[in-house]
Amino acid sequence: MDFDFSDQQYLFRETFHGFLEQNHDLKKHAALLEGDGFDADLWWGLADLGLFSMLVPEQFGGLGLSFVDMALVLEELGMELVGAPASETIVATDLIVRHGSEKQQARLLPLLAAGKLRVATAIAEPKSGFGDLNIQAQAASNSNGWRLNGHKIMVPHAVMADLIMVAARIGPSQELGLVMLEPQRKGVVLREQSTLDPACRFYAMTLDSVAVDVEDFLGGAVPQPTSLARLLDVSSAVAALQLTGIAGKVLDIAVAYAAQRVQFGKPIGSFQAIKHKCADMAVAIDAARSAAYYGAWAIAEDAVDRVKAVSMAKSFCGDTARQVCNEGIQIHGGMGFTWELGLHWYLRRAKVLEFSHGDAAFHRERVMAATLAELQRQE
């Protein structure tokens, strides 16, 4: 049985790789510190290549591909430090395809396929930890209709989004679901937050009696209680693939530097200590890719072991990216820490992704819980 990617999937990767190499180098990435942090030219270039249409079914103007087809492309996005709102919009597309009502799909999916709709997700809350158990934001109905109240943190590129998916408890049953609203809606207040990665803008969101309609609920009048669980899993799988891309890029940079940096009359790459570092990094990245690719397959097939596969990938890829970024900086010696060299951008993005959508400890607990549940079913 052939577990490799197809020629078409590799062609997608090469297409995006060539485009990103020409249009999003570290100098342009650093320029995102100015202004609103949004690169409109990059966004529309990715849209023209079909990035945002890949998961959209053909009847809505998309390519009708699966999450496996996205895997190599998402790894490239991580390699070139392309994050939100592109990755968030891809996650939202999967959710709308899987859980949106027919009316929502007909309205939103053609816009997503054309790159005309940017989406952010709002899950995390102050002092709530990871996951969905402690979500306090609530959508309740009264004589004035539905009102949404709560607080969210770490909402990426919220001011640049056309739509924000907010995780909340809905109605008297307190079932978890997703509410879609515009950031300009009355009662929504956004405040920029400082993070380790200043090129990726995050915002705190206050929801003060925000008026919502049943059509704002993902799934329409019948909210989908499983949509939030899938949102966490898809977001984690996307982060794992991007982390793998970051690690691969840092290894490439480190190996290239070790081959041309001469010390004691020899390239430092010929020294055993540097060889061992690079070999350990390469082995760890190969293992991370295996985990991330399997997580992508589990997402695409909605496999029974989806939770375990995604959490294994997220925890391992986070550890790997951190290790490789640290070692890559060390191989460059003192200049590895300098602002001008730019390696810190990869470490910054890796650290933010490592703790987004659950850190390693959270995901290892999910793996343990899923494994115990499997054992109980076998008894």
pLDDT tens for the chain, residues 1 to 379 = 577 899 999 999 999 999 999 999 888 888 888 888 889 999 999 999 999 999 999 999 999 999 999 999 999 999 999 988 999 999 999 999 999 999 999 999 999 999 999 999 999 999 888 877 789 999 998 877 899 999 999 999 999 999 999 999 998 888 899 999 999 999 999 999 999 999 889 999 999 999 999 999 999 876 677 899 999 999 999 999 999 999 999 999 999 999 999 889 899 888 999 999 999 999 999 999 999 999 999 999 999 999 999 999 999 999 999 999 999 999 999 888 888 889 999 999 999 999 999 999 999 999 999 999 888 888 7
Q: Are 238 and 90 in contact (CB under 8 A)?
A: yes
Tokens found for residue 286: 């190969």
Q: What is the pTM of this model?
A: 0.95
DSSP string covering 238-299 = HHHHHHHHHHHHHHHHHHHHHHH-EETTEEGGGSHHHHHHHHHHHHHHHHHHHHHHHHHHHH
Tokens found for residue 344: 């810190």
Q: Are 158 and 203 in contact (CB under 8 A)?
A: yes
Domains and CATH numbers, the chain: 7-117 (1.10.540.10), 121-216 (2.40.110.10), 227-378 (1.20.140.10)
Give me the residue label for tokens 């930890």. Answer: 129
Q: Are 94 and 81 in contact (CB under 8 A)?
A: no
- Residues 6 or more apart whose Cβ sits within 8 Å of residue 71: 5, 9, 241, 292, 293, 296
